[in-house]
Amino acid sequence: MKYADLTGKTQSELSDMAYNLKKGMYTLNMQKKLNQIVSTAQIRTHRRDLARVLMKLSEIKKK
């Protein structure tokens, strides 16, 4: 996901995306601890996507 993809989203959509990404991060971290994860690169992409969504949320709240 790119930051430009988030420009048309509303605050509620972004908060839902953030919640889902946090849940995804939790499951990926649990899979990593149990040695069940297929690709550890998924953790990195989820973490970065979450940061993008949270940055956009804070930008919306400041306006």
pLDDT (tens digit per residue) in 11-38? 999 999 999 999 999 999 999 999 998 8
Asked whether the CA dihedral 9, 13, 15, 19 is positive or negative, the reply is negative
d(CA 41, CA 58): 26
At 63 the pLDDT is: 83
pLDDT band, residue 1 (cuts 50/70/90): confident
Crossing angle of the two packed helices 41-62 and 11-33, in degrees rounded to 10: 150
Question: What residue ranges do the domains of the chain occupy?
Answer: 3-62
**CA 14: distance to chain centroid?**
10
Q: What is the pTM of this model?
A: 0.89
Mean pLDDT (the chain, rounded): 94
At 20 the pLDDT is: 97
